[in-house]
Amino acid sequence: MANSLKINVFLIPEEGQHYVFSEGDAWFKGCFKEGETPDFSLEQIDVRCLITKTAGTVFIKGSFSASIGICCSRCLENTKLSIGSDFAYTLVPAKMETVEDLELKPEELEISYYQGDFIDLTPIICEQIILQIPIKVLCKEECKGLCQQCGANLNISLCHCGSRSFDSRMAVLKNFKIKN
User: Are 124 and 49 contained in the same domain?
Assistant: yes
Within a domain: residue 138? no
What's the number of domains the chain is made of?
Answer: 2
Residue numbers of the domain that contains 165: 144-180
Question: 72 by DSSP, 3-state: which?
Answer: coil
Within a domain: residue 71? yes
Regarding pTM above 0.85, the answer is no
User: Are 82 and 163 contained in the same domain?
Assistant: no
User: Are 15 and 88 contained in the same domain?
Assistant: yes
User: Are 178 and 125 contained in the same domain?
Assistant: no
List pLDDT tens digits, range 33-86.
888 888 899 999 999 999 999 888 899 999 999 999 999 999 999 999 999 999
The pLDDT score that the predictor gives to residue 95 is: 74
User: Are 53 and 125 contained in the same domain?
Assistant: yes
User: Are 117 and 60 contained in the same domain?
Assistant: yes
DSSP 4: G
The pLDDT score that the predictor gives to residue 75 is: 92
Segments of the chain scoring below 70 in pLDDT: 1-4, 96-110, 162-167
Within a domain: residue 137? no
The pLDDT score that the predictor gives to residue 109 is: 60
Q: For residues 78 and 70, what is the distance between their CA atoms, to the nearest angstrom? A: 6
The pLDDT score that the predictor gives to residue 2 is: 42
Contact 21, 4 (CB under 8 A): yes
User: Are 42 and 121 contained in the same domain?
Assistant: yes
Burial class (CB in 10 A: 0-12, 13-18, 19+), 59: middle
Q: What is the distance of C-alpha 168 from the center of its chain? A: 42
User: Are 104 and 154 contained in the same domain?
Assistant: no
